[in-house]
Protein backbone atom coordinates (compact mmCIF):
# COMPACT_ATOMS: atom_id res chain seq x y z
CA UNK A 1 0.00 0.00 0.00
CA UNK A 2 2.80 2.40 0.91
CA UNK A 3 4.58 1.55 -2.37
CA UNK A 4 1.39 2.29 -4.31
CA UNK A 5 0.95 5.66 -2.59
CA UNK A 6 4.58 6.49 -3.23
CA UNK A 7 4.13 5.78 -6.93
CA UNK A 8 0.97 7.90 -7.09
CA UNK A 9 2.83 10.79 -5.49
CA UNK A 10 4.97 10.99 -8.62
CA UNK A 11 1.96 12.30 -10.56
CA UNK A 12 -0.11 15.45 -10.23
CA UNK A 13 -2.75 14.20 -7.82
CA UNK A 14 -4.85 17.37 -8.13
CA UNK A 15 -5.48 16.71 -11.83
CA UNK A 16 -6.18 13.06 -11.11
CA UNK A 17 -8.66 13.92 -8.35
CA UNK A 18 -10.40 16.57 -10.47
CA UNK A 19 -10.83 14.13 -13.36
CA UNK A 20 -12.14 11.35 -11.11
CA UNK A 21 -14.48 13.68 -9.21
CA UNK A 22 -15.91 15.27 -12.35
CA UNK A 23 -16.44 11.86 -13.96
CA UNK A 24 -18.16 10.35 -10.91
CA UNK A 25 -20.30 13.47 -10.53
CA UNK A 26 -21.17 13.17 -14.21
CA UNK A 27 -22.37 9.58 -13.77
CA UNK A 28 -24.69 10.69 -10.95
CA UNK A 29 -26.04 13.65 -12.93
CA UNK A 30 -26.55 11.56 -16.09
CA UNK A 31 -28.79 9.26 -14.07
CA UNK A 32 -30.64 12.15 -12.47
CA UNK A 33 -31.17 13.86 -15.84
CA UNK A 34 -32.14 10.75 -17.82
CA UNK A 35 -33.91 8.20 -15.61
CA UNK A 36 -37.47 9.29 -16.43
CA UNK A 37 -36.77 9.62 -20.15
CA UNK A 38 -34.88 6.29 -20.21
CA UNK A 39 -37.76 4.54 -18.47
CA UNK A 40 -40.22 5.86 -21.05
CA UNK A 41 -38.01 5.21 -24.09
CA UNK A 42 -36.25 1.97 -23.11
CA UNK A 43 -38.40 0.73 -20.20
CA UNK A 44 -35.25 0.88 -18.09
CA UNK A 45 -34.60 3.94 -15.93
CA UNK A 46 -31.00 2.81 -15.43
CA UNK A 47 -30.25 2.56 -19.19
CA UNK A 48 -27.98 5.61 -19.44
CA UNK A 49 -26.59 5.16 -15.92
CA UNK A 50 -25.34 1.65 -16.71
CA UNK A 51 -23.74 2.76 -19.96
CA UNK A 52 -22.11 5.88 -18.52
CA UNK A 53 -20.93 3.91 -15.51
CA UNK A 54 -19.32 1.36 -17.83
CA UNK A 55 -17.71 4.15 -19.88
CA UNK A 56 -16.32 5.63 -16.65
CA UNK A 57 -14.80 2.31 -15.53
CA UNK A 58 -13.22 1.75 -18.94
CA UNK A 59 -12.05 5.37 -18.98
CA UNK A 60 -10.41 5.10 -15.56
CA UNK A 61 -8.63 1.93 -16.71
CA UNK A 62 -7.39 3.75 -19.82
CA UNK A 63 -6.23 6.69 -17.70
CA UNK A 64 -4.29 4.43 -15.31
CA UNK A 65 -2.61 2.66 -18.25
CA UNK A 66 -1.79 5.80 -20.25
CA UNK A 67 -0.36 7.64 -17.23
CA UNK A 68 2.31 4.94 -17.04
CA UNK A 69 3.17 5.10 -20.74
CA UNK A 70 6.05 7.42 -21.63
CA UNK A 71 4.39 10.35 -23.38
CA UNK A 72 7.15 10.41 -26.01
CA UNK A 73 5.44 7.37 -27.55
CA UNK A 74 2.68 9.68 -28.82
CA UNK A 75 5.29 11.57 -30.83
CA UNK A 76 5.88 8.42 -32.89
CA UNK A 77 2.15 7.73 -33.26
CA UNK A 78 1.06 11.32 -33.97
CA UNK A 79 1.01 11.13 -37.78
CA UNK A 80 -0.61 7.66 -38.00
CA UNK A 81 -3.25 8.72 -35.43
CA UNK A 82 -4.12 11.81 -37.46
CA UNK A 83 -4.40 9.83 -40.69
CA UNK A 84 -6.63 7.23 -39.01
CA UNK A 85 -8.89 10.01 -37.72
CA UNK A 86 -9.18 11.50 -41.22
CA UNK A 87 -10.26 8.10 -42.55
CA UNK A 88 -12.79 7.68 -39.74
CA UNK A 89 -14.18 11.17 -40.31
CA UNK A 90 -14.69 10.23 -43.94
CA UNK A 91 -16.41 6.96 -43.00
CA UNK A 92 -18.93 8.87 -40.90
CA UNK A 93 -20.34 10.38 -44.12
CA UNK A 94 -20.89 6.97 -45.79
CA UNK A 95 -24.55 5.86 -45.62
CA UNK A 96 -24.95 2.67 -43.63
CA UNK A 97 -21.73 3.24 -41.69
CA UNK A 98 -22.34 6.68 -40.25
CA UNK A 99 -25.08 7.02 -37.64
CA UNK A 100 -27.48 9.97 -37.79
CA UNK A 101 -29.03 11.87 -34.89
CA UNK A 102 -30.66 15.29 -34.93
CA UNK A 103 -29.85 15.73 -38.62
CA UNK A 104 -26.11 15.18 -38.15
CA UNK A 105 -23.88 12.24 -39.11
CA UNK A 106 -21.22 12.21 -36.41
CA UNK A 107 -20.99 8.59 -35.33
CA UNK A 108 -19.79 5.24 -36.65
CA UNK A 109 -22.19 2.52 -35.60
CA UNK A 110 -20.47 -0.31 -33.74
CA UNK A 111 -22.06 -3.20 -31.81
CA UNK A 112 -23.27 -1.66 -28.55
CA UNK A 113 -21.35 1.58 -29.06
CA UNK A 114 -21.36 4.61 -31.33
CA UNK A 115 -17.85 5.92 -32.03
CA UNK A 116 -17.53 9.68 -32.54
CA UNK A 117 -14.33 10.25 -34.57
CA UNK A 118 -14.41 14.04 -34.03
CA UNK A 119 -13.53 13.46 -30.34
CA UNK A 120 -10.53 11.38 -31.39
CA UNK A 121 -9.54 13.98 -33.98
CA UNK A 122 -9.18 16.68 -31.31
CA UNK A 123 -6.54 14.72 -29.42
CA UNK A 124 -4.89 13.47 -32.63
CA UNK A 125 -4.50 17.06 -33.88
CA UNK A 126 -2.92 18.09 -30.57
CA UNK A 127 -0.46 15.19 -30.75
CA UNK A 128 0.41 16.00 -34.36
CA UNK A 129 0.92 19.70 -33.71
CA UNK A 130 3.03 19.04 -30.60
CA UNK A 131 5.19 16.63 -32.61
CA UNK A 132 5.51 18.99 -35.57
CA UNK A 133 6.12 22.16 -33.52
CA UNK A 134 8.83 20.32 -31.60
CA UNK A 135 10.41 19.25 -34.89
CA UNK A 136 10.18 22.64 -36.62
CA UNK A 137 10.92 25.11 -33.81
CA UNK A 138 13.24 27.15 -36.05
CA UNK A 139 10.67 27.41 -38.85
CA UNK A 140 7.59 28.38 -36.86
CA UNK A 141 7.81 32.04 -37.94
CA UNK A 142 7.91 31.08 -41.62
CA UNK A 143 4.70 31.44 -43.63
CA UNK A 144 5.35 28.66 -46.14
CA UNK A 145 6.87 26.01 -43.86
CA UNK A 146 5.71 27.12 -40.41
CA UNK A 147 2.09 28.20 -40.87
CA UNK A 148 0.49 27.11 -44.13
CA UNK A 149 1.16 23.35 -43.62
CA UNK A 150 -0.78 23.45 -40.35
CA UNK A 151 -3.62 25.34 -42.00
CA UNK A 152 -3.84 22.68 -44.72
CA UNK A 153 -4.11 19.89 -42.14
CA UNK A 154 -6.65 21.92 -40.19
CA UNK A 155 -8.63 22.61 -43.36
CA UNK A 156 -9.03 18.89 -44.11
CA UNK A 157 -10.30 18.21 -40.60
CA UNK A 158 -12.67 21.19 -40.65
CA UNK A 159 -14.13 20.22 -44.05
CA UNK A 160 -15.01 16.75 -42.75
CA UNK A 161 -16.57 18.21 -39.60
CA UNK A 162 -18.58 20.85 -41.47
CA UNK A 163 -19.97 18.14 -43.78
CA UNK A 164 -21.35 16.18 -40.79
CA UNK A 165 -22.30 19.02 -39.87
CA UNK A 166 -20.42 19.80 -36.64
CA UNK A 167 -19.54 23.48 -36.71
CA UNK A 168 -18.92 23.54 -32.97
CA UNK A 169 -16.30 20.80 -33.27
CA UNK A 170 -14.70 22.56 -36.25
CA UNK A 171 -14.40 25.85 -34.37
CA UNK A 172 -12.97 24.03 -31.35
CA UNK A 173 -10.26 22.42 -33.48
CA UNK A 174 -9.43 25.78 -35.06
CA UNK A 175 -9.20 27.50 -31.67
CA UNK A 176 -6.90 24.81 -30.24
CA UNK A 177 -4.63 24.85 -33.31
CA UNK A 178 -4.37 28.64 -33.41
CA UNK A 179 -3.61 28.83 -29.68
CA UNK A 180 -0.82 26.28 -30.01
CA UNK A 181 0.63 28.12 -33.00
CA UNK A 182 0.50 31.44 -31.18
CA UNK A 183 2.24 29.91 -28.15
CA UNK A 184 4.92 28.49 -30.46
CA UNK A 185 5.70 31.98 -31.77
CA UNK A 186 3.79 32.12 -35.05
CA UNK A 187 3.44 35.70 -36.26
CA UNK A 188 0.21 37.31 -35.16
CA UNK A 189 -0.25 38.77 -38.64
CA UNK A 190 -0.56 35.25 -40.08
CA UNK A 191 -3.25 34.34 -37.55
CA UNK A 192 -5.19 37.56 -38.12
CA UNK A 193 -4.96 37.10 -41.89
CA UNK A 194 -6.33 33.57 -41.59
CA UNK A 195 -9.17 34.83 -39.40
CA UNK A 196 -10.07 37.58 -41.89
CA UNK A 197 -10.06 35.09 -44.77
CA UNK A 198 -12.24 32.62 -42.86
CA UNK A 199 -14.66 35.23 -41.54
CA UNK A 200 -16.72 35.62 -44.77
CA UNK A 201 -17.06 31.83 -45.11
CA UNK A 202 -18.15 31.57 -41.48
CA UNK A 203 -20.65 34.39 -41.96
CA UNK A 204 -22.15 32.64 -45.01
CA UNK A 205 -22.39 29.36 -43.11
CA UNK A 206 -24.09 30.99 -40.14
CA UNK A 207 -26.59 32.82 -42.33
CA UNK A 208 -28.07 29.62 -43.78
CA UNK A 209 -30.03 26.58 -42.67
CA UNK A 210 -30.32 25.55 -39.06
CA UNK A 211 -27.30 27.68 -38.14
CA UNK A 212 -29.33 30.79 -38.93
CA UNK A 213 -32.12 29.50 -36.71
CA UNK A 214 -29.66 29.09 -33.85
CA UNK A 215 -28.32 32.61 -34.31
CA UNK A 216 -31.87 34.00 -34.39
CA UNK A 217 -32.70 32.07 -31.22
CA UNK A 218 -29.54 33.39 -29.57
CA UNK A 219 -30.37 37.01 -30.42
CA UNK A 220 -34.06 36.78 -29.45
CA UNK A 221 -35.25 33.40 -28.13
CA UNK A 222 -38.61 34.88 -27.08
CA UNK A 223 -39.51 35.60 -30.71
CA UNK A 224 -40.14 31.85 -31.12
CA UNK A 225 -40.47 30.43 -27.57
CA UNK A 226 -42.05 27.16 -28.71
CA UNK A 227 -39.63 26.61 -31.59
CA UNK A 228 -36.11 27.91 -32.10
CA UNK A 229 -35.88 29.54 -28.68
CA UNK A 230 -37.40 26.63 -26.74
CA UNK A 231 -34.17 24.96 -25.63
CA UNK A 232 -32.41 28.02 -24.24
CA UNK A 233 -35.59 29.26 -22.55
CA UNK A 234 -35.99 25.91 -20.79
CA UNK A 235 -32.35 26.09 -19.76
CA UNK A 236 -32.89 29.53 -18.26
CA UNK A 237 -35.96 28.27 -16.42
CA UNK A 238 -33.93 25.40 -14.97
CA UNK A 239 -31.10 27.67 -13.84
CA UNK A 240 -33.49 30.29 -12.48
CA UNK A 241 -35.59 27.75 -10.58
CA UNK A 242 -32.49 26.33 -8.93
CA UNK A 243 -31.60 29.59 -7.25
CA UNK A 244 -28.64 29.51 -4.87
CA UNK A 245 -29.04 26.09 -3.27
CA UNK A 246 -31.11 24.17 -5.85
CA UNK A 247 -34.25 22.05 -5.63
CA UNK A 248 -32.36 19.00 -4.44
CA UNK A 249 -30.67 16.13 -6.29
CA UNK A 250 -33.23 14.35 -8.45
CA UNK A 251 -35.91 16.96 -7.82
CA UNK A 252 -35.51 18.92 -11.05
CA UNK A 253 -38.58 19.39 -13.27
CA UNK A 254 -37.14 20.67 -16.56
CA UNK A 255 -35.65 17.24 -17.34
CA UNK A 256 -39.20 15.85 -17.46
CA UNK A 257 -39.39 16.18 -21.26
CA UNK A 258 -39.13 20.00 -21.17
CA UNK A 259 -35.38 20.48 -21.59
CA UNK A 260 -34.03 18.80 -24.76
CA UNK A 261 -30.67 17.01 -24.43
CA UNK A 262 -30.90 17.21 -20.64
CA UNK A 263 -28.35 14.40 -20.11
CA UNK A 264 -25.94 15.50 -22.85
CA UNK A 265 -25.23 19.07 -23.99
CA UNK A 266 -27.50 20.77 -21.41
CA UNK A 267 -26.66 18.67 -18.37
CA UNK A 268 -25.30 21.77 -16.60
CA UNK A 269 -28.85 23.17 -16.63
CA UNK A 270 -29.96 20.15 -14.61
CA UNK A 271 -27.04 20.72 -12.23
CA UNK A 272 -28.15 24.34 -11.81
CA UNK A 273 -31.78 23.41 -11.14
CA UNK A 274 -31.03 20.60 -8.68
CA UNK A 275 -27.88 21.86 -6.96
CA UNK A 276 -28.26 25.59 -7.56
CA UNK A 277 -25.70 28.29 -8.16
CA UNK A 278 -23.39 26.72 -5.58
CA UNK A 279 -23.35 23.42 -7.45
CA UNK A 280 -22.54 25.13 -10.75
CA UNK A 281 -19.87 27.26 -9.05
CA UNK A 282 -18.17 24.12 -7.69
CA UNK A 283 -18.10 22.60 -11.19
CA UNK A 284 -16.65 25.80 -12.65
CA UNK A 285 -14.02 25.84 -9.91
CA UNK A 286 -13.04 22.23 -10.60
CA UNK A 287 -12.62 22.90 -14.31
CA UNK A 288 -10.60 26.03 -13.54
CA UNK A 289 -8.30 24.04 -11.27
CA UNK A 290 -7.97 21.26 -13.87
CA UNK A 291 -6.99 23.71 -16.63
CA UNK A 292 -4.72 25.72 -14.33
CA UNK A 293 -2.78 22.66 -13.25
CA UNK A 294 -2.56 21.48 -16.86
CA UNK A 295 -1.09 24.85 -17.86
CA UNK A 296 1.49 24.58 -15.09
CA UNK A 297 2.46 21.14 -16.31
CA UNK A 298 2.91 22.66 -19.78
CA UNK A 299 5.22 25.31 -18.32
CA UNK A 300 7.22 22.79 -16.26
CA UNK A 301 7.44 19.99 -18.87
CA UNK A 302 11.05 18.94 -19.51
CA UNK A 303 10.91 19.20 -23.32
CA UNK A 304 9.16 21.07 -26.11
CA UNK A 305 6.97 18.15 -27.16
CA UNK A 306 5.69 17.71 -23.62
CA UNK A 307 5.03 21.44 -23.26
CA UNK A 308 2.94 21.67 -26.42
CA UNK A 309 1.14 18.39 -25.72
CA UNK A 310 0.09 19.56 -22.24
CA UNK A 311 -0.79 23.02 -23.55
CA UNK A 312 -3.04 21.62 -26.27
CA UNK A 313 -4.91 19.38 -23.81
CA UNK A 314 -5.32 22.24 -21.33
CA UNK A 315 -6.69 24.53 -24.04
CA UNK A 316 -9.06 21.81 -25.29
CA UNK A 317 -10.54 21.24 -21.82
CA UNK A 318 -10.81 24.98 -21.23
CA UNK A 319 -12.52 25.73 -24.55
CA UNK A 320 -14.99 22.84 -24.37
CA UNK A 321 -16.03 23.63 -20.80
CA UNK A 322 -16.27 27.38 -21.44
CA UNK A 323 -18.29 27.02 -24.64
CA UNK A 324 -20.70 24.49 -23.11
CA UNK A 325 -21.28 26.74 -20.12
CA UNK A 326 -21.72 29.73 -22.42
CA UNK A 327 -24.36 27.89 -24.45
CA UNK A 328 -26.27 26.69 -21.38
CA UNK A 329 -26.41 30.22 -19.94
CA UNK A 330 -27.30 31.83 -23.27
CA UNK A 331 -24.03 33.72 -23.61
CA UNK A 332 -23.24 31.81 -26.83
CA UNK A 333 -25.44 30.40 -29.62
CA UNK A 334 -26.55 26.79 -29.19
CA UNK A 335 -24.11 24.21 -30.56
CA UNK A 336 -23.61 20.51 -29.94
CA UNK A 337 -20.59 20.49 -27.65
CA UNK A 338 -20.47 18.21 -24.61
CA UNK A 339 -19.34 19.26 -21.14
CA UNK A 340 -16.14 17.20 -20.63
CA UNK A 341 -16.37 14.35 -18.09
CA UNK A 342 -20.00 15.17 -17.20
CA UNK A 343 -22.19 14.97 -20.32
CA UNK A 344 -23.40 11.54 -21.40
CA UNK A 345 -21.29 10.03 -24.15
CA UNK A 346 -18.67 7.31 -24.36
CA UNK A 347 -16.35 8.83 -26.98
CA UNK A 348 -16.05 12.17 -25.19
CA UNK A 349 -15.45 10.60 -21.76
CA UNK A 350 -12.93 8.01 -22.95
CA UNK A 351 -10.89 10.56 -24.92
CA UNK A 352 -10.99 13.04 -22.03
CA UNK A 353 -9.65 10.45 -19.57
CA UNK A 354 -7.08 9.34 -22.15
CA UNK A 355 -5.90 12.96 -22.33
CA UNK A 356 -5.76 13.16 -18.53
CA UNK A 357 -3.55 10.06 -18.54
CA UNK A 358 -1.14 11.84 -20.90
CA UNK A 359 -1.09 14.90 -18.63
CA UNK A 360 -0.38 12.73 -15.61
CA UNK A 361 2.55 11.05 -17.37
CA UNK A 362 4.03 14.42 -18.31
CA UNK A 363 3.62 15.52 -14.68
CA UNK A 364 5.50 12.47 -13.40
CA UNK A 365 8.44 13.71 -11.36
CA UNK A 366 7.47 17.39 -11.55
CA UNK A 367 7.07 19.14 -8.21
CA UNK A 368 4.27 21.65 -8.62
CA UNK A 369 2.89 23.38 -5.56
CA UNK A 370 -0.62 24.87 -5.36
CA UNK A 371 0.83 28.33 -6.04
CA UNK A 372 3.86 27.67 -8.20
CA UNK A 373 6.51 25.33 -9.55
CA UNK A 374 9.01 24.20 -6.94
CA UNK A 375 11.18 21.96 -9.04
CA UNK A 376 11.41 20.55 -12.52
CA UNK A 377 12.79 17.11 -13.23
As a whole-number percent, the residues of the chain with pLDDT over 90 amount to: 68
* Contact call for residues 74 and 84 (beta carbons, < 8 A): no
Q: What is the pTM of this model?
A: 0.93
**pLDDT at residue 212, rounded to an integer:** 79
The 10s digit of each residue's pLDDT in 118-174 is 999 999 999 999 999 999 887 888 888 889 999 999 999 999 998 888 888 999 999
**pLDDT at residue 375, rounded to an integer:** 45
Query: Considering the chain, what is the average pLDDT of its residues?
Result: 89
For residue 102, what pLDDT band results from cuts at 50, 70 and 90? low
The 10s digit of each residue's pLDDT in 247-301 is 999 999 998 888 888 999 999 999 999 999 999 999 999 999 999 999 999 999 9
Query: What are the beta bridge partners of residue 98?
Result: 95, 108
**pLDDT at residue 370, rounded to an integer:** 53
The 10s digit of each residue's pLDDT in 35-46 is 999 999 999 999
For the cut 80, the answer to whether the pLDDT of residue 54 exceeds it is yes
For residue 376, what pLDDT band results from cuts at 50, 70 and 90? very low
Q: Mean pLDDT over residues 329-338, rounded? A: 87
Three state DSSP letters for the chain: CHHHHHHHCCCCHHHHHHHHHHHHHHHHHHHHHHHHHHHHHHCCCCHHHHHHHHHHHHHHHHHHHHCCCCCCHHHHHHHHHHHHHHHHHHHHCCECCEEEECCEEEEEEECCEEECHHHHHHHHHHHHHHHHHHHCHHHCCCHHHHCHHHHHHHHHHHHHHHHCCCHHHHHHHHHHHHHHHHHHCCCHHHHHHHHHHHHHHHHHHHCCHHHHHHHHHHHCHHHCCCCCCHHHHHHHHHHHHHCCCCCCCCCCCCCCCCCCCCCCCCHHHHHHHHHHHHHHHHHHHHHHHHHHHHHHHHHHCCCHHHHHHHHHHHHHHHHHHHHHHHHHCCCCCCCCCCCCCCCCCHHHHHHHHHHHHHHHHHHCCCEECCCCEEECC
Amino acid sequence: MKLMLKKLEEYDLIIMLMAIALTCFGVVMVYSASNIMADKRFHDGFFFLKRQGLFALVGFTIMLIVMRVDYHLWKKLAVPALLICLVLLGMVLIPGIGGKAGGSSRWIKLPGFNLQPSEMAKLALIMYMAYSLDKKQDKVKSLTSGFIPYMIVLMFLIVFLVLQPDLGGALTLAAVAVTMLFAAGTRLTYILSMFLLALPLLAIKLSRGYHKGRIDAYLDPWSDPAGKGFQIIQSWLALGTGGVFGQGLGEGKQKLFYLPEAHTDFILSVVGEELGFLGVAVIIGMFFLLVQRSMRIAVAAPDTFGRFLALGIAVLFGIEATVNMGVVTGLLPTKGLALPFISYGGSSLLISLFAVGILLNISSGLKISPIGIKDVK
